[in-house]
Amino acid sequence: MAYVIHPRESRPFSFLHPAMGGAQTHPTVTAFLQLDTEQIIIRYCKEHKDVQPEALWKVLTYKPRHFRWAGADLFPGVTAAGRHEMVVLEVNSCPSGQKYMPHGPGMDSSYHKLMGETFRDTIASKCDPSLLNKPLAVVLDKNPIENNGYASALADITKEPVYVVETYLNRPKEQNIRWTDGVLEVRDVEGQWHAVRAAFRYVTQKPWTRIPLTTKTVVFNPIACCLSGGRNKLLAAVAYEDFNKQQEGTGLRVRIPRTFMRVTKAQIPTVVQALHGKAVIKNPYSNCGQGVYTVTSQKELDELMALDLGYEKFIVQALIGHKNWSSSQWYHAGTIPDGEGRKYVFDTRLMVHATPDGFRPLCIFNRRAHLPLPDTLDGTQDAWEYLGTNLSIKDTIGAWQSDTERLLSVDREPFETLGLSLDNLVDGFVQTVMAVTAIDKMCCRLVRHDNTFDFEEFAVLADDRKILEEIYDLSETSDETTEVSQ
């Protein structure tokens, strides 16, 4: 059932993970968050002399039509020439991370920044006039700490109650949300249904099975963003390729490992062989570290081929590894070696949001692999143990938890182990904004001017019958009352 969070004049606002008790933002991160757009451009172009400043200005001040909040996962990589570069792994349309971000002295919480500078503006510009007197809602399927933070910030900013409602994939018990003629309705604790004018969405597991692509209720971010690349690694790769072609001659480019698109399961071994037996295979529509498979040996490839991978087409990428055996043009920079000389793979999650003045960073956190990166491979170890960084894990009852032992926040001491400089963070921010912009442009390609979704164009780009069946089932009935199982 939906519960209500009411506005308050004052609230001890934290909504941080318990692991963050007493954390303080590292000075390098604080300095990065305080840079304005012009300062970012100056620093970036000083390090990347082939980049045209005016082209970078256009990218950083781009006003997205659909995709206004996102997080990118980046690997700090090193080229054969020794150049340090941030490399895009994927972009997430419902990114986590606020609960790992300490609030600096004198700084607004990043919850308030997103709600006040982006979501409220989205409501004002997109709200259906017939729903203006209807309430707001936060809809989620995981991460209650952050979603209660968002709901509380939204209630305080708008001075009105906010409904919070959970909706889970494959839980056929009760119906807490439904769609009537494109309007989201939520059921309260007394069993009463309430139409919603705008919803902040943190629904991550196949969200197109519970939320239509075309709605009257404002959905932030809309589901089309997920299918255009925010939760679709295949179309994201297409979007990056299109963006890079458009930016030829400017020096700007989204960096991704060598990528093979629309690979059938039967073709995977051939592509892996082309990458010297070391590759990453990705289910395009999964998240939270699920559906991503690292292959460094024949044993791991055989295990992968024995699985039911769920869809028909996949992407296969070169594997970023140790400099002795990486199949990519980059190898891992890794953490600063510990007392025993061990280095760990880590990634950086950088969250951004669109403001009237352009994209701005919201929060940052980092995650490391379970085991140190080996210098050589013997074919016996599970590569995910030293290459996989995602913190999301499922407990014994199927609920999502976080493995915070591998969390490397931007707290002073953990951040010191990463060796990241201010220019590394600026580079990561630029890569994130370019990737998000590329996906928004793909979304503009798939969403018609009347806000309907172009299934025909999507079918050509995705070329996968199973994902079409998933998104069509709900969209086909979105013009009538549809109750969604929880």
Predicted confidence (pLDDT) per residue in 26-42, tens digit: 999 999 999 999 999 99
358-368 and 346-355: which strand pairing?
A: antiparallel
Write down the pLDDT at residue 401.
59
Q: Is 217 exposed, middle or buried (0-12, 13-18, 19+ CB in 10 A)?
A: buried
For 408, phi and psi rounded to 5 degrees? -125, 90
Domain ranges of the chain: 45-100+232-442
* Distance set, CA 391 to CA 281, 368, 402, 406 (Å): 19, 9, 5, 7
d(CA 163, CA 148) in angstroms, rounded, equals 10
Within 8 A by CB and 6+ apart from 199, the residues are 136, 137, 138, 139, 184, 217, 218, 219, 220
| pLDDT score of 288 | 61
145: closest CA among 394, 401, 387, 469? 401
CA distance 362 to 109: 9
User: What are the DSSP E strand ranges found in 207-342?
Assistant: 218-220, 259-264, 279-282, 292-295, 313-318, 330-332
Q: From first to last of the 486 residues of the chain, give the pLDDT tens digit.
A: 899 999 987 777 778 888 888 888 999 999 999 999 999 999 999 999 999 999 999 999 999 999 999 999 999 999 999 999 999 999 999 999 999 998 755 456 889 999 999 999 999 999 999 999 999 999 999 999 999 999 999 999 999 999 999 998 876 445 799 999 999 999 999 999 999 999 999 999 999 999 999 999 999 999 999 999 999 999 999 999 999 999 999 999 999 999 999 999 999 999 999 999 999 999 999 876 678 999 999 999 999 999 999 899 999 999 999 999 999 999 999 999 999 999 999 999 999 999 999 999 999 999 999 999 999 998 888 999 999 998 765 444 455 456 778 899 999 999 999 999 999 999 999 999 999 999 999 999 999 999 999 999 999 999 999 999 988 766 554 544 554 433
Contact in structure between 311 and 284 (CB atoms under 8 Å)? yes
Contacting residues for 72 by C-beta, under 8 A, at least 6 apart: 88, 89, 90, 91, 92, 349, 350, 352, 428, 431, 432, 435, 436
For position 103, what pLDDT does the model report? Answer: 72
